[in-house]
Each structure stands twice: as structure tokens, then as C-alpha cells.
Amino acid sequence: MSFSSRDIDAVDGIWTGIYRADNVREKVWVKFEARNHVELYNGEVNESNKINGTYELQGDTLLKFSYQTVDGKQFSMQGQINKRKNYVDGIWKAGDKVSGSFYLKKERLQEMFIQP
């Protein structure tokens, strides 16, 4: 099965949500960009919380993304995305071990660039 750029473009944008592990809940902010690049922010959105990674859309419903923290820990998230491409939920893993669940919803934000 092949993917059209339209499917991938539908995923691109800013998503917010929560990930859980045991009794802990954390806010997460994710930016899916062109060329399968993802920026993930745990908690507040600032450079010290920024983690870069990659993502892929498999078929039209499975979204996977992975990243590595500055201390070298590998994480991945995978979930089912709805047909409108504006909500995803699934599991996250630390290495190969399932560590919790997450959900993300696509925000209706538009990036604006200001030129001096």
C-alpha cells in the first residue's frame, strides 16, 4: 500500500494530549512536520524540554513515532488515528517494554512567521 502526500500532510501540525504510566499523567505537546520529523515537548513548551524524533503513518490508521532523549533512552509511541486525522490514542514504550498509554488531538492552530 502506498501513501499519498495528502495523508501525511493531514498528520502534520500541532497535537496536544496526555501520556500515562501507572498513576502518573503528563501533558505532552507534539509537532509533526514534513519529511517525517517530529518534535515532542514533555510538560512546558521550551527548548530544554524539546526532543526530536521521526514518525510514520502505516496504512491510513496506524501512526508510529519514536525519539531518543538526551541521556540516550529510546521511546516510541504507536496508536490508531481516526479517519479525520485529528485524534490518536495508543501505547508508549520505553525500549521494548510497554510503559503506558497516550492520546493526542490535533489543534487548529496556524503557524505565523513574522519578518523584521
Instruction: Report helix, strand or coil for 34.
Output: helix
Residue 40's domain comprises 5-106
pLDDT number for residue 44: 84
Dist. CA 114–CA 101, nearest whole Å: 37
Residue 87 included in any domain: yes
Nearest to 29 by CA among 114, 112, 116, 109: 109
pLDDT at residue 9 in the model = 62
pLDDT computed for residue 86 by the predictor: 94
pLDDT of residue 60: 86
Residue 115 lies in a domain: no
Local confidence pLDDT in tens for the 116 residues of the chain: 334 444 556 789 999 999 999 889 999 999 999 889 999 998 888 888 899 999 999 988 999 999 998 889 999 999 999 999 999 999 999 999 999 999 999 998 665 556 66
Consecutive H or E run containing 5: helix 5-11
Residue 111, in any domain of the structure: no
* Phi and psi, residue 78, nearest 5°: -145, 140
Domain assignment present for 46 = yes
| Tally of domains within the chain | 1
What is the model's pTM?
0.82
Report if residue 96 sits inside a domain: yes
Contact call for residues 98 and 90 (beta carbons, < 8 A): no
CATH number for the domain harbouring residue 13:
2.40.128.120
Please report whether residue 113 resides in a domain.
Answer: no
Q: Do residues 52 and 37 touch, judged by C-beta distance below 8 A?
A: yes
